[in-house]
Structure 1
Amino acid sequence: MGMGLTSSVNATSPNRKDLSQKDLERVQAITKPTNDFSKAESYENKSAGAPTSKKTISSKSFSHSSANLSFKGERDFKLGNSLFKKIWVSSPSSTKASDGLGPLFNARSCQRCHLQDGRGHPPENNDDLATSMFLRLSVPARTEAEKQAIRTGTLLRIPEPTYGGQLQDQAVTGLPAEGKMLISYEEEVVTLNGGERVSLRKPSYRVDELAYGDMDPDVMLSPRVAPPMIGLGLLEEIHEQDLLSLADPEDRNNDGISGKASLVLNPESGQREIGRFGWKASNRTVHTQSVNAFAGDIGLSTPDIPAHWGDCTSNQPQCLSQPHGSQKNLGDGEAPQKVLDLVVFYSKNLAVPARRNVSAPDVLKGKELFYTSGCTSCHQPKFVTRRDAAQKELAFQLIWPYSDLLLHDMGEGLSDNRQVGNASGNEWRTAPLWGIGLTEKVNGHTYFLHDGRARNLLEAIIWHGGEAQTARDKVVTMSPEERKSLITFLESL
């Protein structure tokens, strides 16, 4: 978020080599930020272009396929859906194509984290399993070699020596889970213009029932709720030059916004590329996001990450002694290439639902407030995807994700004090807003932000700090009627 309409910039770079000059001019015109809030913009209701789902709004609204898929695409989507929902079991098992779970894990299926393909939530109490939320673990880089690996992007973080990269609170029979995440909250009341009071809950995290000894005294804990799955393939097809054109890490235009690209090593090319996925944008592609989730969340090996014991470490010999489910006749890994490819295809083609009420007066008023408060400086409204996209259905689409996919300093209040790659503890990827108004319909809750601390959209806004402080303060000083319009606009996304 930034200082106002002057902070909104065109999301199309003149350096796009996938476009002819004629197409470039056309795309620049259509992605130019609007200053007319008297009516909806052209195609604004189609949040994801031709792939937008127009199906009736329901609890299944995040689970539909891209509307323009071919017959073969629909087939692969359905196959991927079945694998996304598959309940994996521990080895050895009579169901040879489904064993390999764990030995330590957070969920038995992709769907159990990404509930209805939507947003996870923190546990409601200390007896509630945190299936759609977990703790990332790491320790500071201490040796010069570790520090150099972080600087060059060879490593994104240093795992905790015993418990690895994330706390796994479930395990196969006969093996203890690593521990249990416990959350406590402190309430802090903020008074807004007009006398409205908003209570913010500030979370604190600790781990109980550690089964494999003490953690490193310098361990850093960072909570993560599972993000929505919609529109991922389209986000991957935003041209890298369009994202880089929005980055301003030195804030050279002095607008208070200094977004930067997350840079992640591509092991095949040896080059650092833009990260787009995850709360710290630490994954380059839907493919890498998927293989990391298979390994860390479910404990399944893939051709990319052939560790059959998932996140088990050398300090957990009992875990490493467990049988695995890899079978050569089915392919390399417990989730072999065909399985992985179908899950990735499914993940890339979960459709974004169509916008609702785009022409309603209160929605248009809220949209104007969103723009003039500077929110679009980070929540970039629209892009046109690559003309040369790998999947034709995702190519050359006007999309409205309301994100620049860049890292921004969100202030101390939201900091996890934990570096990931070139993202500092204060920095988070701008979360896409498309579909956010359907969270309650799909997932039955309205918990937002990376750890679900915000219980509604207004709380989420008031938590913004750092680069977003100015925009946040404008929301605080709005009249109650204006804030209501702003929320109505967000609920229409």
Structure 2
Amino acid sequence: MRRTIDISRRLRRAGCDGLPPIGPGRKAPLHGLSFAFMVMLAASGQAGAQEPAGLSPSRADLTAKDKARVLAVTRPATDFSKPEQFEPMPGGAGTSRKDVNRDSFSQSSANITFEEEGTFKLGNGFFTKVWVSSPSSTQASDGLGPLFNARACQSCHLKDGRGHPPEGSADATSMFLRLARAASTEEEKAEVADHRVLNFPDPTYGSQLQDLAVPGLAGEGRMRITYKERKVTLGDGSVVSLRKPSYAVDDLAYGPLDPRTTLSPRVTPQMIGLGLIEQIHPADILARADPDDRDGDGISGKPSIVRDGKTGELTLGRFGWKAQTPSIREQSADAFAGDLGISTPEVPRHWGDCTAAQEACLAMPNGVQERLGPVEAPPPIMDLVTFYSQNLAVPARRDTGKPEVLAGKQVFYDLGCVSCHTPKFVTRRDAPNKAQAFQLIWPYSDFLLHDMGDGLADGQQVGDATGNEWRTPPLWGTGLTQTVNGHTFFLHDGRARNLTEAILWHGGEGQKARDGFAAANSADRDALVKFLESL
């Protein structure tokens, strides 16, 4: 049986025991925690109220000695002549050291037990399970749709990795369009402000465009993308071409979209390290929030506050392109309903995203089996899929000691990329599973919302996120996208065909770093890309 390795022992070896908190004259690598928390409470109408569940402004899970160790080990790097200690292990003790290949994102956390390994494999079975339409002789697998985007979770999350826009084919399985409009009445605005809803779906087509349907029913329509190339001249005279996408829907089967409905393209994100992200203490994310840019660095990250679907309590959103979901289980349940049309205890919609305007869809049979419970994917299935998603390991870093990678890391710091792409966290000591407890991890994200400028804007409000704001995506695994998924498309809609293009699309709060990259010499730009490819 594998043994869970507690990070405290490794930190002691690093000489972190007994280190005092930051003293006078030494600036903490965090923004004002209490200020960020009060801003958040005021925005949610909770000022003066008891601290909401899931929004603790302090790490009660740590002793004073632990806090000193955590502070020491998560300080930003200052020496770029060699790798930092533990840097090759971005997922802590759960990091996968398996050979690099197409399955690099599909390995289990290295520190789960033998029994948990069996649970992981069962979860993988349901993650790859192909669902069929009702009625079916395989009753445990029916319930698909009636409208859907994919027949299996794995169909969207290809090899547990990053999706892509359709390129040279009609394959849009790993990319879809979110459909929503902003609040238009005072009552609707109050619902959003109170975090009761994120936004409002299209009255006919629901919350996302579903291009597939069960026999006897038409899919909703077909996403159309057109690109316009735009040349960008860098400081050394070299030219890069960026492609700007435009989106539309063809062959609408149920009438026109509401004129207020916005289209937000989303490629499916990679699945690695989700359980570790879930166990980052809220205080460590809230501490980095600076919504009014009080420190004047041009970075105004803000937390996404949502309601827990089970308890109704305010909590921190950390999953999804706009940080709209607080937990892996909720994210999974939303995907079952929206992508597959499968009902779960968390989202008991047997007809998925079908709306009242789609009468033929609602007249179709569903896959509920009385002997299995009142939903199509009962609690045991959700337990297994959630466990699987929580324990997909982060692969080990590569080439951390190579001179060009170290040089690129320094460029990453010098350009200010770490202002949003926070390198390190230490997870909660009181995590439910010891495999995720008190682990030093390197996701390179602050999990906050940032205004990324008009160039990347989708115009779609999602809860606290405006049409210009996106959650900082984790960068771990970036360099293995080509190996696992056979492409190098990045950003929320895959418009960037490589890492250079992805950086050059940064605007808003990322404009300064983007301009610094564009002005840099080719050696520094190449080094930065090498560093990102090592993640």
Shorter-chain-normalised TM-score: which range?
A: over 0.9
Instruction: Letter of the 1:193 partner, please give it.
Output: G
Q: CA deviation at 1:217?
A: 1.2
| Counterpart residue number, 1:436 | 478
* In 2: Cα distance, 1:122 partner to 1:341 partner: 31
Instruction: Letter of the 1:254 partner, please give it.
Output: G
Q: Are the equivalent residues in 2 in contact too, given 1:302–1:336 (CA < 8 A)?
A: yes
| Counterpart residue number, 2:417 | 375
What whole-Å deviation, never above 9, does each CA across 1:82-130 have from its counterpart, x for those lacking one?
10000000000011110000000000000000000000000014x4120
**Aligned counterpart for 1:266 among listed residues 286, 305, 308:** 308
Higher relative contact order (CA 8 A, sep 6+): 1
Residues 12 and 139 of structure 1: is their aligned pair in 2 closer, same or farther, counting only changes over 3 Å? Answer: closer
* In 1: Cα distance, 2:195 partner to 2:213 partner: 31
* In 1: Cα distance, 2:385 partner to 2:355 partner: 27
Instruction: Letter of the 1:164 partner, please give it.
Output: G
Instruction: Tell me the secondary structure at the aligned position of residue 97 of structure 1.
Output: helix
RMSD value, Cα: 1.4
Q: Are the equivalent residues in 2 in contact too, given 1:10–1:32 (CA < 8 A)?
A: no
Stretch deviating more after TM superposition (189-198 or 427-436): 189-198
| Counterpart residue number, 2:66 | 23
| Counterpart residue number, 1:132 | 174
Residues 190-205 of structure 1 aligned to structure 2 (within 5 Å): 190-205=232-247
Q: Are the equivalent residues in 2 in contact too, given 1:11–1:31 (CA < 8 A)?
A: no
Q: Is 1:313 paired with 2:355? A: yes
| Counterpart residue number, 2:190 | 148
| Counterpart residue number, 2:42 | none
What whole-Å deviation, never above 9, does each CA across 1:207-245 have from its counterpart, x for those lacking one?
000001111011100000000000000000000000000
Q: Are the equivalent residues in 2 in contact too, given 1:262–1:407 (CA < 8 A)?
A: yes
Q: Are the equivalent residues in 1 in contact too, given 2:454–2:507 (CA < 8 A)?
A: yes
Structure 2: runs of 5+ lacking an equivalent: 1-25, 34-56
**Identity of counterpart residues, as a percentage?**
61
Q: Are the equivalent residues in 2 in contact too, given 1:301–1:310 (CA < 8 A)?
A: yes
What whole-Å deviation, never above 9, does each CA across 1:232-287 have from its counterpart, x for those lacking one?
00000000000000000010111100000001112444332110000000000001
| Counterpart residue number, 1:226 | 268
| Counterpart residue number, 2:389 | 347
| Counterpart residue number, 2:14 | none
Q: Is 1:177 paired with 2:197? A: no
Q: Are the equivalent residues in 1 in contact too, given 2:318–2:324 (CA < 8 A)?
A: yes
* In 1: Cα distance, 2:494 partner to 2:27 partner: 28
What whole-Å deviation, never above 9, does each CA across 1:7-39 have from its counterpart, x for those lacking one?
992599792110000010001000011111011
Alignment length, in residue pairs?
487
**Aligned counterpart for 2:342 among listed residues 295, 300, 303:** 300
What whole-Å deviation, never above 9, does each CA across 1:143-176 have from its counterpart, x for those lacking one?
2221110111100010000000000000001100
Q: Is 1:283 paired with 2:303? A: no
| Counterpart residue number, 2:22 | none
Q: Are the equivalent residues in 1 in contact too, given 2:181–2:461 (CA < 8 A)?
A: no
Instruction: Tell me the secondary structure at the aligned position of residue 235 of structure 2.
Output: coil
* In 2: Cα distance, 1:141 partner to 1:21 partner: 45
| Counterpart residue number, 2:18 | none
Instruction: Letter of the 1:476 partner, please give it.
Output: A
Residues 120 and 267 of structure 1: is their aligned pair in 2 closer, same or farther, counting only changes over 3 Å? Answer: closer
* In 2: Cα distance, 1:139 partner to 1:455 partner: 29
Instruction: Letter of the 1:185 partner, please give it.
Output: Y
Q: Are the equivalent residues in 1 in contact too, given 2:32–2:290 (CA < 8 A)?
A: no
**What TM-score do you get using the length of structure 2 for normalisation?**
0.90
Q: Are the equivalent residues in 2 in contact too, given 1:356–1:492 (CA < 8 A)?
A: yes
* In 2: Cα distance, 1:253 partner to 1:389 partner: 32
Residues 302 and 436 of structure 1: is their aligned pair in 2 closer, same or farther, counting only changes over 3 Å? Answer: same
| Counterpart residue number, 1:83 | 126
Instruction: Letter of the 1:378 partner, please give it.
Output: C
Instruction: Tell me the secondary structure at the aligned position of residue 193 of structure 2.
Output: helix
Q: Where in structure 1 do 4 or more consecutive aligned residues deviate above 2 Å?
A: 10-15, 267-271
| Counterpart residue number, 1:63 | 106
